Amino acid sequence: MPVMASDYLSLTLRINELEETVAELKNDNEEKAKIIAEQTKQIEELKAKLARYENPHTPSSAQRYKKESKSSNSSKRRGAPHGHRGATRPTPEPDRVVEVTADQCDHCGSTNLE
């Protein structure tokens, strides 16, 4: 049975269409594989954070998530260096003296304070 030219042409067009479809599906598959890889990485990070909260040996008051600090200055002490001379205001001299006497005892309430 001989193949007609029109059949050959239609088969060639169909093959080209199918090859284009295969190429599109391969591109879609690659994009979805990248998305899956990113989401898998994110899931692992979230599982690690969640594990900090679900540890049965850690009290609930200590199960807070703390961000990792970018600097390692935690070993430094805060404040002025050791041996630093402090700076304080001088004690002022009083300009008057006021005598204050109690009318009664704070403990027993007696007015006899002699």
15-73 pLDDT per residue, tens: 999 999 999 999 999 999 999 999 999 999 999 888 877 776 766 666 565 556 666 55
Eight-class DSSP state of 64: -
- What would the pLDDT profile of 97-110 be if each residue is shown by its tens digit? 998 888 888 888 88
Name every residue whose Cβ is closer than 8 Å to that of residue 102 and which is 6 or more positions away in sequence: 113
Contacts of 110 (CB under 8 A, 6+ apart): 104
The pLDDT of residue 102 is 84
Confidence of residue 79 (pLDDT cuts 50, 70, 90): confident
Rounded to whole angstroms, the Cα distance separating 80 from 77 reads 9
80 Cβ contact list (under 8 Å, min separation 6): 86
Asked if residue 6 belongs to a domain, the reply is no
**What would the two tokens of residue 49 be?**
């954070």
Q: What's the chain's length in residues?
A: 114
Total count of domains within the chain: 1
Residue 70 lies in a domain: no
Q: What is the mean pLDDT of residues 89-101?
A: 90
Looking at the predicted structure, is the pLDDT value of residue 10 above 70?
yes
Q: Quote the domain boundaries for residue 44.
A: 33-57
